[in-house]
Structure 1
Amino acid sequence: MGRYTMKSVSLNRLPIGSGLPKICIPIVAHTQEEVMKTAVQVVRSPADLVEWRLDFFDSLSPETVLETATELRQMLHGLPLLATFRSHREGGQQQTDDSAGIRIYHCLMDRQLAEAVDLELSQPADIRRSILSLARQTDTKVVMSYHDFRRTPSQKTIEGILGKMAAEQADIAKIAVMPQTPADVLRLLSATVSARSRLNIPVVTMAMGPLGKLSRISGSLTGSAITFGILDHASAPGQIEAGLLKNFLDELTVDQ
């Protein structure tokens, strides 16, 4: 029975864009020990995939990151790994220049230690092209992302941003916005439905904060392919506890 069964992308045999929205659990640990402790919890949770937020990690030396990533993948027992170094301008935790995160991405992709990386649309065009090119060479998927922590753009703007990501040949297009009114949330949901029907890649959308929680459980209706849940610590405002999120998704499943 069809629930947005087309336009899916596979992350280690996990289909993104078909079936129920997939639950992604962020790891926001500061040390290698904390990463591994969280990984133990993650594999016991309803997680379908895992996001490692590298901007929370204290040591950005390539050696430490590669060692941690290698051990983390072993701990995850096949759960796909999305590596994310969020820039400070888009809510990241470290006030470093973009080169640190880009360098880490290159190391992880060269060693094929992540199924996907998060690439911000706000990165310079030459950096985006470089990451996308290396991703193709290393069979790494690219989640292109855009964050607005102040407002919710117009529906036309939201669809335009997602469309630009698709045009740049991202594998998955992601946008997160901050709603100020209920109408903002509804506008995001409407933009998601429209973009999902028009674009040739999966889309991931969310309205942040308490007002936007509805957007995190409505993916089977709108077509948003991934939703982010938490164990103990959130990586963005408005995320829902993973077990509760799973219950909501199961209860709200609709056939299209």
Structure 2
Amino acid sequence: MALVCVSITATSTGAAQAEIDIAESNEAEMVELRLDFLAEGENWESLVSYGKLPKIVTNRASWEGGNSDESEEVRLGKLIRALDIGADFIDVELKAAETYEQLIQGTPKKGLKILSYHDFEKTPSLEELSQIYAKMLEKGADLCKIAVTANDISDCARVLHVLQAATNPTIMLAMTERGMLTRLLAGKYGSMLTFCSTNSGKESAPGQIAVAELRSLYRFKSIENLTKVYGIIGNPVSHSMSPAIHNAAFKHRKVDAVYIPLLVDDVEKFLKSFDEFKFNGFSITIPHKEAALKCVDVVDEVAERIGAINTIVRLKDGRTKGYNTDWMAAIGAVERALLSLDPEYRRRQEAPLRIREDEGVERPLNGKHVVLVGAGGAARGMAFGAVERGAKALTIVNRTMERAEKLVGEMKSMGKPCECTAMSIAAFQAGEAGEFDVVMNSTSIGMHPNEGDTPVDSDLLSESMVVFDAVYNPRETRLLREAKDKGCVVVDGVEMFVGQALKQYELWTETKPPKSVMEDAVLRGLKLK
């Protein structure tokens, strides 16, 4: 298992001590003292012996991404002094290795030397990374550290390749959000440690994760070679509650698995780059649901009819299979809301509708006019569900008419008695959709941090209309708030989000999901519980 090392980036001695205290309280196993962050004149030597944790002392040169503009003799001299007073490790740049050796010539060895290499612009080729690593060994590194920049998440595959082949104690990572998986999976692929921050905003390098989040949300200390890996593929993904909901479920059921965010620009490129690593499954979110369907080995029949997937499962034979768990979660939530308008249903106080394919099951969408905002991957599942479940009419409203018309054509090809129409946003806002019973927003309009936006003018809403918003962060979007003021029955995205996640967990583990645990994880993440 990799160690948890917190980088101390304070500018004063007192603040640095406070950060070391935070590291200790969050059960970090090591700290990195960044001398180049400290203001001139601060008593850095006192920090080497402060607290109980082992120390890596770093005084990063400005020519390799740090803050120190001191002469090499002064800068490296501080590292030599750090070893003299008890530092466990010092970090010397590979480019400064020869100068460092000249400065310590003839003195007894103390502590351990990390030789490091940083590239803040790119990830070198596999051959170049291997050469850098070999040079570190040649220069006598006790521990090798390579930190590069991931401009695309596929760059991480090269980092993991070299890390897995390492023969010495090694730290390897890719910086930026696109490289985050190398930090989170350090223990699985053999890195000695991962660097993290005390809190958000205190990072010493792009992509670092706060120590509390690393240990609790991702259960970093339980990740090892055999740990299964799942994740959410999307752009953006930093807002997603998926890691919270699935990691809570894995923890509750004691499943040796971790679920991580994957900021992906090109889903096909990512899946090809990481195919040999055999990750166990993925959630797919905006904007990759349609493109991902073409990247799996097998597609579930319903998902193929919808034309988009939100779930990938690694089958036992190694192939990948795509599913769509969105549509039933969204349509089920809307149908339950419609049933709540039925006095007879309320009187009976029945349990929420169980969506089944049985003949004779109540189908509250029968005879309803549904307006669907959006024509992307999420919209495809909702459109399919509305038509499949008996809607009288479906109006697809989208910024790009071509996409809306294409989706309308596909819905018509289902052969169901549903009148499907494409409409521009301007025409919809002008009232050209006429009367409708249900409006469903499948877009990210209104999602954090753009909470002030709404996809539907409130003048179009009326009492007893059902309004569904797939956005779940924030839980009450502007659309839902204005709909509630108009007397509409509102359905937030949390119900859909939890519903689709429950089915994903079942597909991945072939076991019943812990529903209450997963619901609680989302509500806590949204600070609603």
Question: Common fold, TM-score beyond 0.5?
Answer: yes
Amino acid aligned to 2:91: D
CA contact (8 A) 2:59 2:68 kept: no
- Residue equivalent to 2:31: 50
TM-score, structure 1 normalization = 0.80
Question: 1:124 deviation in Å?
Answer: 5.7
For 1:49 and 1:131, locate their aligned partners in 2 and report how far apart those are by CA, in whole Å. Answer: 27
Q: Deviations over 1:93-147 (max 9, x none)?
A: 2333323211211222223x2011000001162x13236757x824310111000
For 2:105 and 2:89, locate their aligned partners in 1 and report how far apart those are by CA, in whole Å. Answer: 13
CA contact (8 A) 2:54 2:88 kept: yes
In the alignment, structure 1 residue 254 sits paired with structure 2 residue 225:
yes
- Residue equivalent to 2:102: 130
Q: What secondary structure, in the 3-state scheme, does the structure 1 residue paired with 2:108 have? A: helix
Taking structure 1 as reference, are residues 132 and 237 closer, same or farther at Cα in structure 2, changes over 3 Å only? farther
- Report the number of matched residues: 223
- Residue equivalent to 2:76: 102
In the alignment, structure 1 residue 180 sits paired with structure 2 residue 147:
no
Among 119, 144, 149, which residue is 1:148 paired with?
119
In the alignment, structure 1 residue 214 sits paired with structure 2 residue 187:
no
Q: What secondary structure, in the 3-state scheme, does the structure 1 residue paired with 2:162 have? A: helix
5+ unaligned residues in a row in structure 1: which ranges? Answer: 1-19
Taking structure 1 as reference, are residues 137 and 153 closer, same or farther at Cα in structure 2, changes over 3 Å only? same
Taking structure 1 as reference, are residues 118 and 133 closer, same or farther at Cα in structure 2, changes over 3 Å only? farther
CA contact (8 A) 1:51 1:83 kept: yes
CA contact (8 A) 1:26 1:234 kept: yes
For 1:240 and 1:88, locate their aligned partners in 2 and report how far apart those are by CA, in whole Å. Answer: 23
For 1:117 and 1:132, locate their aligned partners in 2 and report how far apart those are by CA, in whole Å. Answer: 13
For 2:104 and 2:170, locate their aligned partners in 1 and report how far apart those are by CA, in whole Å. Answer: 17
Among 5, 15, 19, which residue is 1:38 paired with?
19
Q: Percent identity?
A: 26
Question: 1:183 deviation in Å?
Answer: 2.0
- Residue equivalent to 2:89: 116
For 1:167 and 1:124, locate their aligned partners in 2 and report how far apart those are by CA, in whole Å. Answer: 11
Question: RCO greater where, 1 or 2, for CA within 8 Å and sep 6 or more?
Answer: 1
For 2:197 and 2:130, locate their aligned partners in 1 and report how far apart those are by CA, in whole Å. Answer: 27
Amino acid aligned to 1:65: W
Question: 1:246 deviation in Å?
Answer: 2.2
- Residue equivalent to 2:51: 76
Q: What secondary structure, in the 3-state scheme, does the structure 2 residue paired with 1:122 have? A: helix
CA RMSD of aligned residues (A): 2.1
CA contact (8 A) 2:76 2:100 kept: no
Taking structure 1 as reference, are residues 242 and 133 closer, same or farther at Cα in structure 2, changes over 3 Å only? farther
Amino acid aligned to 2:27: P
Amino acid aligned to 1:173: C
Q: Which of these two proteins has the greater Rg computed from alpha carbons?
A: 2
Question: 1:211 deviation in Å?
Answer: 0.2
- Residue equivalent to 1:189: 160
Amino acid aligned to 2:95: S
For 1:132 and 1:118, locate their aligned partners in 2 and report how far apart those are by CA, in whole Å. Answer: 15
In the alignment, structure 1 residue 165 sits paired with structure 2 residue 136:
yes
Among 205, 212, 234, which residue is 1:243 paired with?
212
CA contact (8 A) 2:2 2:221 kept: no
